[in-house]
Structures are given as C-alpha cells and as structure tokens.
Amino acid sequence: MKHIAVVGGGIVGLAIAYKLSLMKEVKVSVFEKESSQGQHQSGNNSGVLHCGLSYTPNSLKAKLAVNGIKQMVDFCVQNYVKHDICGQIVVAADDEEVKTLDNIAARGKANGLQGLKYLSRYDLKQREPHVKAKKALLVPEEGIVDYKGVMQKMVDKIKESGNEIFFNSKVQNIEETDKELILKVNDKEYKFDLLISCTGLYADMVYQNLTGNKRPLRIVPFRGEYMKIKSEYKDLVNHLIYPVPNPKYPFLGVHFTRMINESRELGPNAVFALKREAYTNKDISLSEFYDSISYKGFHKFVLKNFKFALGEFASSMSNRSFLKKAKRLVPDIELNMIERGVAGVRAQAMNTSGKLIMDFKIEKVNKQIHVLNAPSPAATSSLAIADYVIENYVG
Ligand SMILES: Cc1cc2nc3c(=O)[nH]c(=O)nc-3n(C[C@H](O)[C@H](O)[C@H](O)COP(=O)(O)OP(=O)(O)OC[C@H]3O[C@@H](n4cnc5c(N)ncnc54)[C@H](O)[C@@H]3O)c2cc1C
C-alpha cells in the first residue's frame, strides 16, 4: 500500500486525490489550510469549461484542456452537477483582432475542436442581439459549470472511499528520509511515501519550504475583479461572449459570462495584487508585496508591459474604465446596468526574464511532486491533470 499526501484542497489537489482514491493500492490524505475546499482560485473563477480554443497546439494546456473538458462533463453527468455546453462567441472588434481571431480559429482546429464557425450578421443577431462584431467566431464546445458542486462531489467521493481530508491543516515543513516523508501538521505526525503539492498561490513558497531548493519561478498574484449585470438587464447577453485574447497574455480579457445560476457576470480584469490572497485593493501584505517587487523578473515584466498593467489598474479604480472594455463587445451596456461583483486571484508563474509562463508546470524532487503553475483552464482540465500527474510522476 502506497500512502500519498496531497497538499491543497483546490480543484487540482482534489481531482488528483479523487483519482488516487480509485486505486486499490493507494491511500490518500489531503491537507488544506482553510476550513473547507476551494476557497481560493477554484471557488472564485468564471465557472467556464474551456475546450482548448486558443492554446498552443501540442502544449500540455491544449492537450489537457481538450481531454479535461470531456472528463469534467462526464463527471458532472455521473454526479448530477449542474453544467451546460452553451457555446461561446469570440468577438473581433477591429481589423487587427480579425487577424488574431483567424489565427486562434486555426489553433482551435489544430487542437481538434469541432463545429467552429464564423457567424453571419443574421446568425449573430439571432443568438446575441446586443453584440457588435467585425467578425464573430462560434465555439460550440465551450460551456459553464458549477465548480463548487464539482469539488463537493470530489470531497464526498474521497471520504466515501475511506480516505481522509484534513481542513485547517497548513503544511509548513517536512522531514525526508530514504524511506519516507514525515509531515508534522497541527502537532500530529504523519508518514507518507509521496507528497503532491497543489498549493496554487503559494506553490513556489511551498516548493522552497518542503524541498529546500531555490524556487525555479515566482508566483505573482493577479486579481480578477468582476462586475455583475443587474438582474433586470441580464437579457443583454445570453451565453458566453469573449474578446479576442491577446496571445501575449494568459488572461482572456473582460468577457460576459452566463453563470450556472443564470446571473450574468462581466470580467475579470487582471490587476497586480499586493498580497497573494488579496480579494480587494485594500488587502496588503508587506512581505508578499516585497517578494513580488524584489523579483528580477517582475521589474522586466513591468517595463515591458507598463501600458497593459496601467489599463488593468484603471479598470480596478474606475467603473467607467471597466465599462469601456465591455462596450467593445456590447455597446448597449451602460454604467447604470452594472454593479461591483466578486473577485478571484490568479496564481501566475513568472520567470526571471519577466515572462508569464503560459503552460502548466510540474516538477518532481525526490519523493515530492509540485504542481508549480496551474493557471486557467486548470479547473476545466483538473481531472486530466490528475491523470497526467499520476501516469508521469506517481508511477
Ligand atoms: C478570476 C479567475 C477566473 C478563472 N476562470 C476560470 C475558468 O472559467 N475556467 C477554468 O478552467 N479556470 C479558470 N481559472 C483558473 C482556475 O480557477 C485555476 O487554474 C484552478 O482553480 C487552480 O486550482 P488549484 O487547485 O491549483 O488552486 P487553488 O484553487 O488556489 O487551490 C490551492 C489550495 O492550496 C491551499 N494551500 C496553499 N498553501 C497551503 C499549505 N501550505 N498547506 C495546505 N494548504 C495550502 C489553498 O488554501 C488552496 O485551497 C480562473 C482563475 C481565476 C482566479
């Protein structure tokens, strides 16, 4: 019997623990520092099932999104979790974006997506009467889901199979011998053969604390703030409406989302956060802020992306600036139709050159496996990430 510790009860840690719990020869224990699962990225995202449209063909992201959405839909069907493959429209607002949209459609085809098609003016009006587009691409395989419902089912299944989840259990250090890993959490000692860290916003720090090695990258927190469309105006959009993503960034741009509870959200922007779990612009941690700004890569990122960073900051400070981004897709939207909504914080890995690392990144050091970068669409892909980690690293 192999005893495996999973650190982090977000959707990636839970998906890995769930898949391990299906293996007869494995016992798994999950350690989560909060009082329940999914309190960070996994419980504060757009709730979208991404099918693999814009990711670089053959990247881990592309492969695991395409496989992951199928597994996630099957999981939802089998466990009665709400979801809807409602389709997405990607809107090019000018000639430059039309070119990028054509490239993205080609990527989608290379990734094996079915049914991609450009909508005629008539078809667009039928589907989304308020959207204005120079060119609009329909992505029929994209959808929405209740990720909190998914995580609750994963927790139930892990426990039903006789495995354990410890909440309020922060993992801070570990002793590694030739034979085993010894973990001390809340004054109790546990012994494991292997540990898998899926700690999102703290993935680099947990890596450093547990392996003793220097961090190979830095997690920089980017808050994503949402606006809510007031319920009386929710018919302004029917499905998912996205701008053409800028291929330079892993962020998809302010978009309209029909949530699984029928509300309509607008966002998220991507604002540098002054703390890793900073859900408002008043949340600050001096040590975490210093950790980001003292990083060589961060200086290079800011120098190269000053205009982008300023634009995102402006949308955090002013509703009008936020609205400007939305009006490119739906010109009829006005300030009186929206109100400030929730926020999530993305764990985005950056390297010393100031590049945002686009692909998923996993590293094994002795008996420890660290998921170091699992940005969007890691929620969609979580069950496929679990297979990948188990097949390639657990053995
Ligand atoms: C605003 C936003 C919108 C997004 N939209 C989408 C979307 O529509 N579709 C999609 O597929 N993806 C989306 N994503 C990305 C997706 O949510 C994340 O990629 C995914 O949730 C990552 O899951 P995770 O388990 O790695 O991280 P998390 O959910 O952050 O989980 C990490 C967990 O580790 C715990 N932890 C940290 N340190 C320790 C420690 N020392 N000991 C114990 N526990 C610890 C944390 O408390 C946390 O619960 C979005 C993300 C954001 C922020």
Quote the tokens at residue 385: 């990430």
Whose alpha carbon is nearest atom 2 of ligand 1?
45
Query: Which one of 35, 42, 73 would you pick to mutate in the ligand 1 pocket, going by the greatest count of ligand atoms within 8 A of its CB?
Result: 42
How much is the average pLDDT of 299-305?
94
pLDDT tens digits for range 158-200: 999 999 999 999 999 999 999 999 999 999 999 999 999 999 9
* Nearest-CA residue for atom 38 of ligand 1: 199
pLDDT tens column, 220-253: 999 999 999 999 999 999 999 999 998 888 898 9
Largest CA distance in the chain: 67
**11 Cα–ligand 1 center, Å:** 7
Q: What is the mean pLDDT of residues 29-41?
A: 98
- Is residue 29 within 8 Å of 190, Cβ to Cβ? yes
208 CA to centre of ligand 1 in angstroms: 19
Q: How far is the C-alpha of 315 from the C-alpha of 223, rounded, in Å?
A: 12
The Å distance, Cα 365 to ligand 1 centre, comes to 22
- pLDDT of 207: 98
Check if 345 has its Cβ closer than 6 Å to any atom of ligand 1: yes
Tokens representing residue 181 in the block: 């890993």
Give 369's strand partners.
196, 364
**Token pair of 226 as six digits:** 């949402």
What is 241-295 written as a DSSP string? EEEPP-TTSS---SEEEE-TTS-EEEE---EE-SSTT--STT---HHHHHHHHTS
pLDDT at 273: 96
Which residues partner with 84 through β-bridges?
Answer: 144
CB of 243 sitting under 6 A from ligand 1: no
> Ligand 1 center to residue 390 CA distance, Å?
19
What CA–CA distances, in Å, run from 226 to 94, 255, 276? 25, 10, 18
Q: Distance from the CA of 347 to the center of ligand 1, in angstroms? A: 7
Q: In whole angstroms, what is the distance from residue 31 CA to residue 241 CA?
A: 37
**Closest by alpha carbon to 87, among 224, 234, 227, 237?**
237
Please state the atom number of ligand 1 nearest to the C-alpha of residue 345.
Answer: 53
**CA-CA distance, 14 to 11, in Å (whole number)?**
5
The tens digit of pLDDT for each residue in 100-158 reads: 999 999 999 999 999 999 999 999 999 999 999 999 999 999 999 999 999 999 999 99
In 3D, which of 368, 29, 367, 371 has the Cα closest to residue 186? 29
Helix (H) or strand (E) holding 392: none
Exposed e or buried b per residue across 308-340, where buried means at least 16 C-beta atoms within 10 angstroms of its C-beta: bbebbbbbbeeeeebbebbebbbeebeeebbee
Residue type, 264: R
Rounded Cα distance, 347 and 252, in Å? 15
Euclidean distance between the first and final Cα of the chain, in Å?
13
Q: How far is the CA of 336 from the centre of ligand 1 (A)?
A: 32
Q: Could you count the other beta carbons within 10 Å of the beta carbon of residue 231?
A: 10
